[in-house]
Chain A
Amino acid sequence: MSLNRVLVPVKRVVDYAVKIRVAGGKVDTNVKHSMNPFDEIAIEEAVRLKEKKLAKEVIALTVGPSKSNETLRTALAMGADRGVHIEVPEGSEVLPLQVAKLIKAVAEKEKPELLLLGKQAIDDDSSQTGQMLAGLLGWPQATFASKVEVAGDKLTVTREVDGGLETIASKLPAVVTTDLRLNEPRYATLPNIMKAKKKKVEKLTPKDLGVDVTPTIETVKVIEPPKRAGGIKVESVDELLSKLKNEARVL
């Protein structure tokens, strides 16, 4: 027995390797973007379930401006079967609860048995969407997963918690959020990138799904964090210990 559908929401974010600059009271986002790294892990896990014949179809979903289409294409090139793009105007911010409501609306239509999400997006670092989605759907949740096992309608997940690991089990359908060590995502190969261009992407708007995405949290300002003043180099262990004791007074 295999799952009919795995739904994987993905987010287009500023590329993890880009040095963030704050200008004019906001983060300069006119830079290279790519798929949120934790979402790549989620897509990889879903595609592996399909390759192991544990799932029949992988659907990638994104909420974002028209450029998010590229992120969806990356997911399709990695092996997702089709995409859903919930398009919002460029520059508009959709908060986690509203993203969760949009995903829920799609989930109710597509009826996936498993929802796989990244544990957090590396732009707003909120770490909320998966948990909120599970709450809205009334489904079990397994966050920060480092191992996911699906057998029939049973899900067993090893989670990364403070101090070690925790294992939980639940019935499907369920929501799983991925941690760093779940897998190593593949690179999309050129033939697969070409093939992905032919895969179907359904376009929707928040209005189509009946969700009001007006932000309820306003960003008042964004600043650069205070810079650490550069320190000094010491010549020896003795000098280091002396400085730590007499100057920094931390020993």
Chain B
Amino acid sequence: ASTLVLVEHKNDAVASSTLNAITAATKIGGSVTALVAGSAPDAVAKSVAGLQGVNKVLVAKHDAYAHALPETLAPLIVAATKAGSFTHVVAPHSAFGKNVLPRAAALLDVNQVSDVIGVEGEDTFVRPIYAGNAVATVKSKEPIKVITVRTTAFPAAASGGSASTESAPSADTASPTEWIKEEIAKSDRPELGSAKVVIGGGRGMKNGENFKLLYDLADKLGAAVGASRAAVDAGFVSNDLQIGQTGKIIAPELYIAVGISGAIQHLAGMKDSKCIVAINKDGDAPIFQVADYGLVDDLFKAIPDITSKVDKI
């Protein structure tokens, strides 16, 4: 096998999702080539070349790649795949990978296997279906296996490699789409998708201001803060914090669910967390069925209490 990995990056830094995708690619066996496309990709290409498991880095430098538009990235992936005779193409199942890779798969005239959580061989992959309520093992008969991978299912590739770098083949860079702007929440806290500790707030938080309680605790624990769909729909916090089937899928070492009842759609996004804590005043809330430790208590008392005591342990 020979695998091409599409590198996700932002502001000169390799996205953590790329590190998980590279590990998934190494599990396929054979060589791993990373494709870095951007308007100024050199710094990212250098970081990727230093990752364990990467054999070669292909660099595509063009202004058309500045904002990761699928209309220009998909033809580049196709050109690189054909030039390098790759048997596999891998990207993270992030907003970036989900947007770009199916378009490339269609141009290669193959079906894609999405959201892979296990690699069982060169053509056999494991993926959740029905929001993770069932797990399917699928075998692709396509000549080129195009897959997106669930980042939380694979460890991050470590540094310590020394891959060679060369230019990617050129492709059509004309785009019918124009990038206008982005509004990305800036935060010093860890990224929700890769944080070791995550605190999630639900409808029980009552309003957006009360999320300060969670942020105070998050600062002490070095945690990221997320929310249930109910909290997002109620307007407490912005949509990029949503954990669940239609939001972010997370699997931290510790997940603390605060004022969250535990709807199926939320559980789908966090049930692979290593340790789950639930704090809810309703002792019958379904969240307690998946929690390792449940505390039936008023969150407005319990959270400040925890925040004041974590320092002392």
> Which residues of chain B come closer than 8 Å to A22, judged between CB atoms?
134
CB pair A132–B277 under 8 Å, yes or no, is no
Q: Which of B35-43, B53-61, B125-133 sits within the interface?
A: B125-133
Q: B114 within 8 Å of A by Cβ?
A: yes
> Which residues of chain B come closer than 8 Å to A248, judged between CB atoms?
254, 275, 292-293
Compute how far the CA of A47 lies from the CA of B313 in the bound complex, rounded to whole angstroms.
Answer: 58
A97-B106, A163-B184, A231-B291 given; A225·B132 CB < 8 A:
yes
Q: A108 within 8 Å of B by Cβ?
A: no
Q: Mark B64-108, 1 if CB is under 8 A from A, else 0.
A: 000101110010000000000000000000111011111111110
Compute how far the CA of A144 lies from the CA of B94 in the bound complex, rounded to whole angstroms.
Answer: 12
Compute how far the CA of A151 lies from the CA of B44 in the bound complex, rounded to whole angstroms.
Answer: 38
> Which residues of chain A come closer than 8 Å to B202, judged between CB atoms?
none
The smallest beta-carbon distance between B294 and chain A, in angstroms, is 4
> Which residues of chain A come closer than 8 Å to B182, judged between CB atoms?
161, 164-167
Q: Mark B174-209, 1 if CB is under 8 A from A, else 0.
A: 011111111111000001010001000000000000
Partner pick for A225 among B133, B142, B289, B291, CB 8 A cutoff: B133
- Chain A residues touching B, range: 35 or more
What would be 18 A-B contacts, judged by CB atoms less than 8 Å apart? A20-B130, A27-B130, A122-B245, A125-B114, A131-B100, A162-B240, A164-B182, A166-B183, A180-B246, A216-B140, A217-B111, A219-B138, A224-B134, A224-B135, A232-B293, A234-B294, A240-B293, A241-B306
A141-B70, A225-B135, A244-B293 given; A237·B102 CB < 8 A:
no
> Which residues of chain B come closer than 8 Å to A223, judged between CB atoms?
134-135, 137
Tell me the total A-B contact number using a CB cutoff of 8 A. Answer: 250
Enumerate the 8 nearest inter-chain pairs by beta-carbon distance, A residue then B residue, closest first: A132-B106, A131-B102, A20-B133, A135-B106, A231-B292, A135-B103, A128-B102, A164-B184
Q: A191 within 8 Å of B by Cβ?
A: no
Q: A233 within 8 Å of B by Cβ?
A: yes
Partner pick for A27 among B129, B140, B292, CB 8 A cutoff: B129
Partner pick for B313 among A133, A135, A161, A251, CB 8 A cutoff: A251
> Which residues of chain A come closer than 8 Å to B26, judged between CB atoms?
none
Partner pick for A170 among B176, B185, B309, CB 8 A cutoff: B176
Q: A222 within 8 Å of B by Cβ?
A: yes
CB pair B239–A135 under 8 Å, yes or no, is no
CB pair B134–A131 under 8 Å, yes or no, is no
Q: A210 within 8 Å of B by Cβ?
A: no
Main secondary structure of the interface of A (DSSP, over half): mixed
Residues of B within 8 A of A (CB-CB), count: 88
The smallest beta-carbon distance between A239 and chain B, in angstroms, is 8
Partner pick for A164 among B103, B178, B179, B185, CB 8 A cutoff: B185
A131-B70, A170-B177, A241-B306 given; A233·B132 CB < 8 A:
no
Compute how far the CA of A131 lies from the CA of B302 in the bound complex, rounded to whole angstroms.
Answer: 46
A217-B140, A248-B275 given; A128·B246 CB < 8 A:
no
CB pair A169–B177 under 8 Å, yes or no, is yes
Compute how far the CA of A136 lies from the CA of B129 in the bound complex, rounded to whole angstroms.
Answer: 25
Q: A124 within 8 Å of B by Cβ?
A: yes
> Which residues of chain A come closer than 8 Å to B183, judged between CB atoms?
164-166
A132-B106, A231-B292 given; A97·B111 CB < 8 A:
yes
The smallest beta-carbon distance between B292 and chain A, in angstroms, is 4
The residue of chain B having its C-beta at the shortest distance from the C-beta of A225 within the complex is B135
Partner pick for A127 among B98, B104, B109, CB 8 A cutoff: B98
Partner pick for A231 among B67, B131, B142, B276, CB 8 A cutoff: B276
CB pair A126–B178 under 8 Å, yes or no, is no
> Which residues of chain A come closer than 8 Å to B296, judged between CB atoms?
233
CB pair A217–B139 under 8 Å, yes or no, is yes
CB pair A167–B180 under 8 Å, yes or no, is yes
Compute how far the CA of A250 lies from the CA of B98 in the bound complex, rounded to whole angstroms.
Answer: 32
A131-B99, A171-B176, A230-B289 given; A217·B253 CB < 8 A:
no
The smallest beta-carbon distance between B199 and chain A, in angstroms, is 13
Q: Mark A134-171, 1 if CB is under 8 A from B, else 0.
A: 11100111111010000000001001111111111111
CB pair A233–B295 under 8 Å, yes or no, is yes
Given A161-B184, A236-B295, 20 other A-B residues pairs in contact with their CB atoms under 8 A? A122-B131, A128-B102, A136-B107, A156-B180, A161-B95, A163-B185, A166-B67, A169-B178, A180-B229, A181-B239, A216-B142, A218-B141, A220-B139, A221-B136, A222-B136, A228-B290, A231-B294, A234-B294, A251-B254, A251-B313
CB pair B106–A216 under 8 Å, yes or no, is no
Q: A51 within 8 Å of B by Cβ?
A: no
CB pair A161–B306 under 8 Å, yes or no, is no
The residue of chain A having its C-beta at the shortest distance from the C-beta of B140 within the complex is A217
Within A197-243, the residues touching B (CB, 8 Å) are: 216-225, 228, 230-234, 236-238, 240-243
> Which residues of chain A come closer than 8 Å to B248, judged between CB atoms?
162
Compute how far the CA of A222 lies from the CA of B67 in the bound complex, rounded to whole angstroms.
Answer: 38
CB pair A131–B103 under 8 Å, yes or no, is yes
Compute how far the CA of A22 lies from the CA of B128 in the bound complex, rounded to whole angstroms.
Answer: 13
Compute how far the CA of A149 lies from the CA of B138 in the bound complex, rounded to whole angstroms.
Answer: 39
The residue of chain A having its C-beta at the shortest distance from the C-beta of B92 within the complex is A162
